[in-house]
């Protein structure tokens, strides 16, 4: 049995309509020709069906001088608009080129972070564990030395201990940076964190795989300076940009623990510019912190720092 042959359907040829492509130019030409021939309609320039050349010539000289000048002026304005748009386009391209280069540098900075056998974003998990240990020790020493410190002051001191660490050179920088607090209290805290048995117990308890309380200035300093400069680069732009969307892309690069440490950093004098320039709030830099990530009583009560509706989990609750 012969199989019926399939009929090949002709493929439609898609052609771009010349009218769709050139309609603006055609309309301009038609309008131009119409305006050019309006001179022949008034009776002042015609004798019956014959054009009065003298009157028409005088009008032509007037129109040529007056309208011609107007067209020259219009051409100058259009040229200025074109150049302005080209300049804005070039500025936007320059901004985007540098912006994505800064994003790349940020990723490289994260990849280059090392802490003993760990590298990359995982070290922020370990550093945050260490901060919580330091905060606990700071709170205990403060009670022993009768220091009445509020939550933000405790965070300030604990973060500086995390940042500078203890040691011959580190302790000197730490004490200088915390000079406004009671010197005896800071010395007690520095001595406690400098004890070898305390370090070993903290390493064992929190499974740090490195000796804690020796500082992270070389890691966190460069990392947060570049992150701050990247956000500021977007914020200071005078171009017509959706700045929030650009910074949102930066924020998307940050893990939960990176955002948590950014918040801690911003609550100290080292990172106060994040608040002074309203970057933390305007761009919701720590929006993605989960609910109760920080214990309100012993760590940070974020509801006292941010207005209602700031965090992503609040948006989810409102939606449900």
Over the stretch 241-251, which tens digit does the pLDDT of each residue have?
Answer: 899 999 999 99
Q: What is the pLDDT at residue 81?
A: 76
Q: Which two tokens stand for residue 230?
A: 């990247």
How many structural domains is the chain composed of? 3
Q: What is the pLDDT at residue 115?
A: 85
Shared domain check, 143 and 96: no
Q: What is the pLDDT at residue 53?
A: 64
Evaluate whether residue 208 is within a structural domain.
Answer: yes
pLDDT band at 319 (very low <50, low <70, confident <90, very high): low
Q: What is the pLDDT at residue 12?
A: 47
Shared domain check, 235 and 300: yes
Evaluate whether residue 129 is within a structural domain.
Answer: yes
Evaluate whether residue 191 is within a structural domain.
Answer: yes
In which domain, by residue range, is 194 found?
113-215
Average of pLDDT values for 280-307?
92
Whether pLDDT at 276 is above 90: yes
Shared domain check, 146 and 244: no
Q: How far apart are CA 78 and CA 80, in angstroms?
A: 5
Shared domain check, 119 and 77: no
Shared domain check, 157 and 241: no
Evaluate whether residue 92 is within a structural domain.
Answer: yes
Evaluate whether residue 188 is within a structural domain.
Answer: yes
Shared domain check, 40 and 91: yes
Shared domain check, 119 and 56: no
Evaluate whether residue 319 is within a structural domain.
Answer: yes
Whether pLDDT at 13 is above 50: no
Q: How far apart are CA 162 and CA 136, in angstroms?
A: 12
DSSP helix/strand/coil, 2: coil
pLDDT band at 318 (very low <50, low <70, confident <90, very high): low
Evaluate whether residue 105 is within a structural domain.
Answer: no
Evaluate whether residue 9 is within a structural domain.
Answer: no
Report pTM.
Answer: 0.76
DSSP helix/strand/coil, 165: coil
Shared domain check, 117 and 58: no
Q: How far apart are CA 27 and CA 20, in angstroms?
A: 12
Last residue of a domain, one of 76, 100, 124: 100
Shared domain check, 285 and 250: yes
Helix or strand run (H / E) with residue 22 = helix 18-36
pLDDT band at 2 (very low <50, low <70, confident <90, very high): very low
Last residue of a domain, one of 100, 129, 149: 100
pLDDT digits (tens, 9 = 90+) for 184-227: 999 999 999 988 888 888 888 888 878 888 889 988 989 999 99
Shared domain check, 192 and 132: yes
Last residue of a domain, one of 198, 215, 232: 215
Whether pLDDT at 48 is above 60: no
What whole-number percentage of the chain has pLDDT above 70? 82
Shared domain check, 208 and 245: no
Q: How far apart are CA 58 and CA 55, in angstroms?
A: 5
Alpha-carbon torsion 177, 180, 181, 182, what sign? positive
Whether pLDDT at 4 is above 90: no
């Amino acid at each position: 049995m012969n199989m019926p042959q399939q009929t090949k359907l002709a493929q439609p040829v898609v052609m771009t309509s010349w009218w769709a492509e050139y309609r603006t130019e055609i309309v301009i030409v038609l309008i131009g020709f119409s305006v050019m021939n309006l001179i022949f309609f008034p009776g002042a320039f015609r004798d019956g069906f014959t054009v009065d050349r003298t009157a028409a010539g005088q009008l032509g000289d007037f129109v040529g001088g007056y309208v011609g000048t107007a067209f020259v002026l219009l051409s100058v304005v259009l040229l200025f608009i074109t150049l302005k748009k080209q300049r804005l386009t070039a500025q936007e391209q320059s901004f985007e080129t540098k912006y994505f280069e800064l994003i790349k540098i940020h990723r490289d900075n994260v990849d280059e972070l090392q802490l003993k056998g760990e590298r990359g974003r995982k070290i922020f998990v370990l550093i945050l564990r260490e901060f919580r240990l330091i905060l606990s020790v700071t709170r205990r020493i403060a009670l022993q030395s009768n220091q009445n410190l509020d939550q933000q002051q405790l965070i300030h001191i604990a973060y500086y201990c995390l940042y500078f660490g203890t040691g011959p050179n580190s302790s000197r920088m730490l004490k200088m940076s915390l000079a406004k607090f009671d010197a005896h209290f800071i010395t007690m805290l520095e001595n406690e964190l400098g004890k070898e048995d305390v370090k070993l117990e903290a390493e064992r308890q929190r499974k740090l795989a490195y000796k804690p309380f020796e500082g992270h200035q070389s890691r966190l300093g460069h990392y947060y300076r570049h992150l701050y400069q990247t956000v500021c680069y977007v914020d200071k732009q005078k171009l017509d940009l959706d700045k929030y969307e650009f910074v949102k892309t930066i924020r998307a690069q940050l893990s939960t623990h990176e955002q948590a440490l950014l918040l801690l950093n911003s609550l100290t004098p080292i990172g106060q510019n994040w608040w002074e320039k309203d970057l933390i709030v305007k761009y919701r830099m720590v929006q993605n912190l989960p609910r109760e990530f920080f214990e309100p009583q012993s760590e940070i009560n974020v509801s006292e720092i941010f207005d209602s509706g700031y965090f992503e989990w609040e948006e989810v609750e409102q939606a449900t």
